[in-house]
Amino acid sequence: MIEIRSLTKKFGNFTALDSISFSVGDGSIFGLVGSNGAGKSTLLRTIAGVFRPDGGEVLIDGLKPFENSAVKGRCMFISDYPYFFRQSTLSDMADFYRRIYPSWNENRFEQLCGIFPIERKKKIIEMSKGMQRQAALICALSTEPEYLMMDEIFDGLDPVIRQLLKRIVSGEVSDRNMTVLIASHNLRELEDLCDHVGLLHRGGILFERELDALKLGIQKVQAVLRPMPRPEELGLDLVTCQIRGSLIELVARGTQEEILARLDRFHPTFVEALPLTLEEVFINEMEAAGYDIDNILV
Amino acid sequence: MTSTTSSFKTGFAEGKAIFFWSLRRGRGILVLNATLQFLLFPFLTFLVVQGGRREYQENSYQQERYTLEEYLYNSFCSKSQAVFYGSLLVGIALCFILCAFLFGYLHQKRSVDLMHALPVGRVPMALGKFCAGLVILWLPILICFLLDLLLTVVMGVAGAPSFVPFLIGKMLPSLGWNMATLFTCLAVFLFFAVCCGTLLDTMISVIAVNVFYPMLLMFVWTNVAEQIPGFSTDYLGTGGPLDILIQIGSPLFAGFITPWMMTSRLLGNSLLMLAVGIVLVIASCLLYRYRKSECAESGFAFPLPKYIICFVATAASALLAGQVFQYINDTVVSYLAGLVIGSLLAHSIAEAIYSRGFRGLPKSFKAYGVFAVVFLIGYASVATGLYGYDTRVPRADQVESVEVYIPTQYLSQGYSGDVFSFNVQKVEMDPDGMGYTSTKSLVDLKHILRDTESIEKTIAFHQAVIDQYRQDLYPYLRPQSRYYKDITLIYHMKDGSEMKRVFSSRIYEEPDGDTEAELRLVDLFNVHEYRTCGNYLYYLEPDSIADIYVEFPHTETAVSAPVIGESGATAQEIESQTVELTLSHEQKEELLAAIRQDIDEMHVTQVEPLYYLDEPKVSIDCMEPFIPQGEALKELLGDNYTPGSRVIFSETMYFSLGGNYPHTTAVMESILEEYR
């Protein structure tokens, strides 16, 4: 379990993380979203033990990761621009990780090399961005980490490899109870993969919640009503409401059954509950919380 | 205890993994070093010895003088020091490459993300990489050195009798020095790599500290010596505090110069160098634990070294500019202008280099202000005599004895140039007995005065010299190189301490008339102990005298010269006549006795002999190797002397005949008469 308590990280006068607290349970896939400079990468680096916290603490199974080899040996961090030694090939990097990580699994490495379309003997520096990420992923997953932290991992990956990545990560989580933290701007990708999400903004965490609970608590409904009542007459906890002629599209809090039952009272010609995207959930939540959403999500 | 042991084992395992990985990755540099060291050690030895063998076989004269082993050994020795120096240069150059290879990861955000997320502690990581660097530097040198030794055995060089002493006395200390220096150089790079945020700053800092720090020390040292009366001028290579300070602060510079300057002290210097390296490695590890990963690619992780380097570079440049300006225009204003302009320029350049531009320059003048205040305090301290250093004179009742070295034209006391270096040396003669191959100092002759009267008169002279300095030069605003220091007074105090002062005789010689210092010097000179104590003339033996040269006074000849304008000019051509005398044993004995009697009875009334230019000058070449017979010399040499071996005096004697040497003049005249 990853526990973050009042975590603060400063770069000179700039506070990148401002007293953040939340926790990530074992076996969950936690998505970190936020605008540029929100502190996602800093948070991941601090959890991975690269940065020393300036305040508060990060605990992984009750232990601080900074300068703690025992904890770091169970973690793996893939940064937004993975680093490879000069002139090294995937085999060279595998050799390096093999020496450093006691949990290195050679069979898993062979297996992953078979899954990802990558040449082992080719210099990594000569590979494309997406191929380099694949190389980093192969090495990372071959160490069989208990905690995997990935920063903007979907950048540069083609849709096939993205799906492959999601499948492999999900498999690792279900097989080994691996805990995953992913920082990304790409809410659609996170929506497919994550079970928890957290929104960072200006170094603080605005909220973190289970994705299903987040989605279940808010609904999007389209209906055709004649005559069209005024929104306040609907008796719903509306988040947004748009009326175009006899068509009303609304986002309201509550269960799907409650909302549809309410609308039934107005004898709709047509009524349909629509799936909410993670992006819409966030937008709605943020607006409800009084934030200017344009300045938070880009 | 269990936890500590377990932690150590874990750290060791982590360091080992990093070590072997770094070594594997650095095998290219290892091979490069091995190739270069191979060319320097066994390959060059092979060429040199093979060439020597051919020369020997073709040269019958050499075959008569030397055995083949001796000749090959001489050839081998002649290249040995250059090879060790070359090997050291190669190693130091490779340190720059190794720094980028081993510690470059600290200066890139991407590599820091990888390396600092690894399950490896920072200290094991730094030490693992450092040790890999050491192996890359040391292993080729050691292997090639051993191959070199093997080759000397195979090719017959090791058969020479002097080989083993040379191996122990020169080669092994040089090898030790090289290895210690490379250890410390790599430690310097590690230290600055930890302190700096970029590789460029690391390189700049290493170079800057190794250039400007010794430059500053030498400028401060020479300036203080030239500004403050009495301050000793022990320069580089004497093993003094200046050498130690340079070695501590700039090991690369010390690595370059020490083998040339202090071959006899290499073992001690190697240990000091190693100690500096160990301290740097420990400091690097401690700092690395607190180094912020985020400082990669940006400025300094620990800014103190940057401030110190800027300070040192600014101060050194200020003093350099001061010297240059003073050289152009020998005034205080010019010197001070040089200090200000030099320091401002150096500060601006240093700031521009470290900040990659001039945007931070206005802000940086706060640091310059600190520099200016510190520099001003230092300058004011020196200008006012370093808190009474210039006027400090011991009380006679506190002094046990005093060593006095003052150049005088009345008699020779082993004064050579501005150094008192008179000694007696053991001589290794050539097999043919015609010349000698080497000399080794056995004993230095010291002019130590112990009588109360001598001490009191020395102190009176000392006080008079100080008063003259204060009168003429105080405050000491700039270095005065024209007052070269040729007087040395070393007080051995009763409490066991020592007080050394050096002065310039110019300070009392230049003013017109007899100065107080000159009068006090005459008083001192008329003390019998001063004239006779430690005077080598009392240890000379007839056999040590080779030849005597008598130079008669100048004869001036007017010659015609071109007429310039309305007035005619004449040039004077000075001619002198020199006679070389070879004396019999009895004549030499008689001459020595006369000289000693003259010195015993000498009484002078002024510092410089008036008749000096008008009297014949005598120089006695007493540099003939001889076997000591007299008790005085044997007692002086003591246990240092091996009975039967030959010794030689290091200086010859010069003096003018005349009023102060009546007995000597009489003897010389009789000899000259015989000659005529």
Round to whole Å and give the CA distance between B276 and A131. 47
For residue B57, give the H/E element and its range: helix B44-58
Residue B524 lies in a domain: no
Mean pLDDT of chain B: 86
The whole-number pLDDT of residue B63 equals: 80
Q: What is the pLDDT of residues B523-545, one digit of tens each?
A: 998 999 988 888 888 888 888 88
Mutate to test the interface with B, among A44, A45, A124 (most CBs of B within 10 A): A45
Q: What is the pLDDT of residues B84-127, one digit of tens each?
A: 989 999 999 999 999 999 999 999 999 999 999 999 999 999 99
Residues of B in Cβ contact (< 8 Å) with A52: 292-293
- Beta-carbon-side half-sphere exposure of residue B466 (alpha carbons within 13 Å): 18
Round to whole Å and give the CA distance between A135 and A157. 12
Q: Are residues B599 and B647 in the same domain?
A: yes
Round to whole Å and give the CA distance between B137 and B95. 8
Are B384 and B475 in contact by the 8 Å Cβ rule? The answer is: yes
For residue B508, give the H/E element and its range: helix B506-509
Mutate to test the interface with B, among A40, A46, A74, A79 (most CBs of B within 10 A): A79
Are A252 and A219 in contact by the 8 Å Cβ rule? The answer is: yes
Round to whole Å and give the CA distance between B230 and B466. 8
Average pLDDT over residues A21-47: 90
Average pLDDT over residues B131-139: 97
Round to whole Å and give the CA distance between B194 and B126. 9
Q: Kindly give the interhelix angle for B332-355 and B361-383, rounded to the nearest 10 degrees.
A: 150
Q: How many domains does chain B have?
A: 3
- The reply to whether residue B113 touches residue A96, judged by beta carbons under 8 angstroms, is no
Model confidence at A201, pLDDT cuts 50, 70, 90, reads confident
The three-state secondary structure class of B545 is coil
Q: Which amino acid is at B579?
A: V
Residues of A in Cβ contact (< 8 Å) with B116: 49-50
Model confidence at B419, pLDDT cuts 50, 70, 90, reads very low
Query: B8 and chain A: CB distance < 8 Å anywhere?
Result: no
- Beta-carbon-side half-sphere exposure of residue B254 (alpha carbons within 13 Å): 31
Q: Are residues B263 and B332 in the same domain?
A: no
Query: A69 and chain B: CB distance < 8 Å anywhere?
Result: yes
Query: A232 and chain B: CB distance < 8 Å anywhere?
Result: no
Per-window interface: A 93-122 vs B, CB < 8 A? 95-96, 99-101
Residue B76 CB contacts under 8 Å (≥ 6 apart), including other chains:
B45, B48, B49, B52, B152, B157
Nearest to A45 among B111, B113, B121 (CB): B113
| Mean pLDDT comparison of A288-292, B9-13, B235-239, B613-617, highest-scoring range | B9-13
Nearest to B21 among A73, A77, A96 (CB): A96
Is the per-residue pLDDT at B336 higher than 70? yes
Q: What is the pLDDT of residues B619-665, one digit of tens each?
A: 888 878 888 888 888 888 888 888 888 888 877 777 777 677 888 88
Q: Are residues B319 and B210 in the same domain?
A: no
Structural domain ending residue among the three candidates B390, B406, B435: B390
Is the per-residue pLDDT at B378 higher than 70? yes
Residues of B in Cβ contact (< 8 Å) with A82: 110, 114
Query: B6 and chain A: CB distance < 8 Å anywhere?
Result: no
Distance from CA of B298 to the nearest CA of A (A): 11
Distance from CA of A167 to the nearest CA of B (A): 25
Per-window interface: A 30-49 vs B, CB < 8 A? 45, 48-49
Nearest to B112 among A50, A100, A101 (CB): A50
The three-state secondary structure class of A131 is helix
Residues of B in Cβ contact (< 8 Å) with A79: 110, 113-114
The whole-number pLDDT of residue B418 equals: 41
Nearest to A49 among B14, B110, B116 (CB): B116
The whole-number pLDDT of residue B568 equals: 41
Q: What is the pLDDT of residues B463-484, one digit of tens each?
A: 999 999 999 999 999 998 888 8
- The reply to whether residue A100 touches residue B111, judged by beta carbons under 8 angstroms, is no
Structural domain ending residue among the three candidates B338, B371, B390: B390
Nearest to B120 among A51, A75, A100 (CB): A100
Model confidence at B462, pLDDT cuts 50, 70, 90, reads very high
Strands A179-183 and A147-151: parallel
Average pLDDT over residues B206-229: 91
Nearest to B110 among A71, A73, A81 (CB): A81
Round to whole Å and give the CA distance between A168 and A162. 10
Q: Are residues B324 and B279 in the same domain?
A: no
Range of the domain at B602: 536-559+570-675
Domains annotated for chain A, with CATH where assigned, are 2-212 (3.40.50.300), 217-293 (3.30.70)
The whole-number pLDDT of residue B556 equals: 54
Four-residue CA torsion sign, A221, A222, A224, A230: positive
Look up residue A45 and give its two tokens. Answer: 């680096």
Query: B260 and chain A: CB distance < 8 Å anywhere?
Result: no
B341 phi, psi to nearest 5 deg: -65, -45
Which residue's entry shows tokens 């003048």? B365
The three-state secondary structure class of A38 is coil
Q: What is the pLDDT of residues B605-615, one digit of tens each?
A: 877 765 556 77
Chain A nearest-CA residue for B104? A85
Nearest to B14 among A11, A69, A95 (CB): A69
The whole-number pLDDT of residue A124 equals: 93
Mutate to test the interface with B, among A96, A132, A181 (most CBs of B within 10 A): A96
Q: Are residues B124 and B199 in the same domain?
A: yes
- Beta-carbon-side half-sphere exposure of residue A275 (alpha carbons within 13 Å): 5
Residue B202 lies in a domain: yes
- The reply to whether residue B292 touches residue A52, judged by beta carbons under 8 angstroms, is yes
Residues of A in Cβ contact (< 8 Å) with B14: 69, 100
CA dihedral B116, B121, B122, B128 (to 10 degrees): -110
Is the per-residue pLDDT at B558 higher than 50? no
The three-state secondary structure class of A137 is helix
CA angle A132, A138, A140 (to 5 degrees): 100
The three-state secondary structure class of A18 is strand
Q: Are residues B310 and B263 in the same domain?
A: no
The three-state secondary structure class of A182 is strand
Model confidence at B432, pLDDT cuts 50, 70, 90, reads low
Residue B465 lies in a domain: no
Which residue's entry shows tokens 């004064």? B415
CA of residue A62 relative to chain centroid, distance: 23
- The reply to whether residue B117 touches residue A48, judged by beta carbons under 8 angstroms, is yes
Which residue's entry shows tokens 């000399």? B439
Q: What is the pLDDT of residues B18-61, one digit of tens each?
A: 999 999 999 999 999 999 999 999 999 999 999 989 988 888 87
Q: Are residues B226 and B332 in the same domain?
A: no
- The reply to whether residue B114 touches residue A82, judged by beta carbons under 8 angstroms, is yes
- Cβ-in-10-Å burial (0-12, 13-18, 19+) of B387 comes to exposed
Look up residue B512 and give its two tokens. Answer: 């017109």
Q: Are residues B324 and B298 in the same domain?
A: no
Look up residue A288 and give its two tokens. Answer: 């409800």
Q: Kindly give the interhelix angle for B662-675 and B585-601, rounded to the nearest 10 degrees.
A: 150
Is the per-residue pLDDT at A298 higher than 70? no
Q: Are residues B152 and B283 in the same domain?
A: yes
Q: Are residues B336 and B228 in the same domain?
A: no
Q: Are residues B187 and B117 in the same domain?
A: yes
Residue B508 lies in a domain: no
Q: What is the pLDDT of residues B161-202, one digit of tens each?
A: 889 988 988 899 889 999 999 999 999 999 999 999 999 999
Q: What is the pLDDT of residues B247-305, one digit of tens each?
A: 888 888 887 776 665 556 778 888 989 999 999 999 999 999 999 999 998 878 898 88
B671 phi, psi to nearest 5 deg: -70, -40
Chain B nearest-CA residue for A79? B113
Q: Are residues B186 and B274 in the same domain?
A: yes
Chain B nearest-CA residue for A149? B117
Could you give the percent of chain B with pLDDT greater than 70? Answer: 89
Distance from CA of A187 to the nearest CA of B (A): 25
- The reply to whether residue A100 touches residue B119, judged by beta carbons under 8 angstroms, is yes
Residue B523 lies in a domain: no
Structural domain ending residue among the three candidates B355, B390, B425: B390
Residues of B in Cβ contact (< 8 Å) with A45: 113, 117, 293
Nearest to B119 among A11, A83, A101 (CB): A101
End-to-end CA distance of chain B: 95
Query: A13 and chain B: CB distance < 8 Å anywhere?
Result: no
Model confidence at B357, pLDDT cuts 50, 70, 90, reads confident
Per-window interface: B 446-485 vs A, CB < 8 A? none
Query: Would you give the DSSP letter of residue A52?
Result: P
Is the per-residue pLDDT at A249 higher than 70? yes
The whole-number pLDDT of residue A101 equals: 93
Per-window interface: B 24-63 vs A, CB < 8 A? 25
End-to-end CA distance of chain A: 30
A68 phi, psi to nearest 5 deg: -125, 100
Chain B nearest-CA residue for A88? B25
Q: Which amino acid is at A249?
A: E
Distance from CA of B105 to the nearest CA of A (A): 9
Round to whole Å and give the CA distance between A202 and A192. 26
Q: What is the pLDDT of residues B559-615, one digit of tens each?
A: 444 444 344 444 444 556 788 888 888 888 998 999 889 889 988 887 776 555 677
Nearest to A49 among B18, B110, B117 (CB): B117
CA distances for B566 relative to A221, B148, B196, B560, B563, angstroms = 123, 76, 74, 15, 7
The whole-number pLDDT of residue A68 equals: 93
Per-window interface: A 127-156 vs B, CB < 8 A? none
Are B271 and B183 in contact by the 8 Å Cβ rule? The answer is: no
